[in-house]
Amino acid sequence: MDKFDVIVIGAGPGGYVAAIRAAELGLKTAIIEKDSLGGVCLNVGCIPSKSLLKNAEVARMLRKETETFGVTLNGLELDYSKAVERSRKVSKRLNQGIAFLMKKNNITVYEGAASFISEHKLLIILKSGESLELQADHVIIAAGSHSTPLKGMEPDGEKILNYRQAILQTTRPDSIVIIGGGAIGVEFATIWRAYGTEVTVVEMMDQLLPNEDPEAGKDLEKSFKKQGMKVLTGTKLESVDKTDQGVTVHVSDSKGKSDLSADQVLIAVGFAPSSAALNLPAAGVKTSDRGWIETDLYGKTNIDSIYAVGDVAGRILLAHTASAMGRIAAEKIAGREPKPFNLDLIPHTTFSFPQVASFGLTEAEAIKRGLKVKSGKALFLANGKALGMNEYEGWAKLVCDADSHVLLGAVMLGPEVSELLPELTLAAANQLTVEDILTNVHAHPTLSEIISDAAENLLNS
């Protein structure tokens, strides 16, 4: 029986980062992946979707902005299949990169499914059908999560789609209903609308991006409507019927029931931890009623030798969250003293048009914690770089402690705002004040100047 210091289950952003860090720290490491190295994010999630979003940006500009930029086009043709083809090449390249890193760091890779025999023993069913047992001093579970079909609305890959089927299909629908106004739903809405698809987004809560600042969700909805999309918030999905033409989606709101017809429907809600097949009871690992693995802020479960990171731990279902947790878990196992995972410092990004980015506490959340806060806001309408790009919709808002002026959080809506977050999370992690942000010189003209503008407006409020 092969024995390792650390075995990692799952080779997504949490798993491969944990494995690499463990190997760097001198631990004999193995990683087990039942699908593809890189996990959902790299293969059918955040990476290929960003490739599609870049194609969508080009398509949107060619369809809508040619006069603004002095370009004349005759007979424009957009081939959506080429966008998907490019996205697959990007994913394949990164997948090969992960394989190289595994080899470079002497990490043993097993292609197959893992389950616990006991606290320190794992059963591996290889893709070849063979089985073997492995032993480990420590195990890091990075098995991720998966979409869960709604009863009576199971995806078929033709008329009813989940995110995986949506990102792989090489043709775009002429019309689609998207169920769920979270990050997945609004990003697919952005992609398809840029190519001319008639898009309807249905969200049960009263705003798009329900976990974001309400102002950001409401303003994104306004932008989507300007782009020609239909947005139905406060609206519940009742059922879906397949028709000869496509689908009829039955929904309801405070005014009653209504029907929506389209070529396809994308179900972008409902995720569950991929923990059921791991046989966690054999190792004594505790989970919630829904299967999320319970951990401390270092990723350690109730069993000292077993850690869980990323989606399967049910904290924040984001790739960079998993990577951060994986690094912390590996360092803790190696005897280092990493800082515990801090939920308040995790950046949130949605790559819609316009983008939405945030971290930390909103004003409402800070007040709930009993904090006295101040906020300041600046508009991209006054930003020279944004005007030059012809993308000046949106704003940035900073939230700080009213007495100390230490930064507590931020939310931004606008062009490339996902790239503006690191300055702010670094400032918050080091207890910097709004004055520190204001005195930090920002190059001109750049989008980042909106941060200093927001800081100045906050201090002058």
Element of type H or E holding 93: helix 80-104
Q: What are phi and psi of 156, to 5 degrees?
A: -120, -5
Among the listed residues 120, 320, 442, 444, the single catalytic one is: 444
Residue 444 bears catalytic tag? yes
Helix (H, G, I), strand (E, B) or coil at 330: helix
Angle between helices 80-104 and 13-24 (to 10 degrees): 20
DSSP structure string for 154-186: ---SSSEE-HHHHHH-SS--SEEEEE--SHHHH
* Residue 372 CB neighbour total at 10 angstroms: 9
SS3 140: strand
3-state helix, strand, coil in the chain (%, to 5): 35, 30, 35
Compute the chain's Rg from CA coordinates: 23
Q: Name 389's Cβ contacts closer than 8 Å, sequence gap at least 6.
A: 415
Q: Up-side HSE of residue 55: CA atoms within 13 Å toward CB?
A: 22
Please list the active-site residues: 444
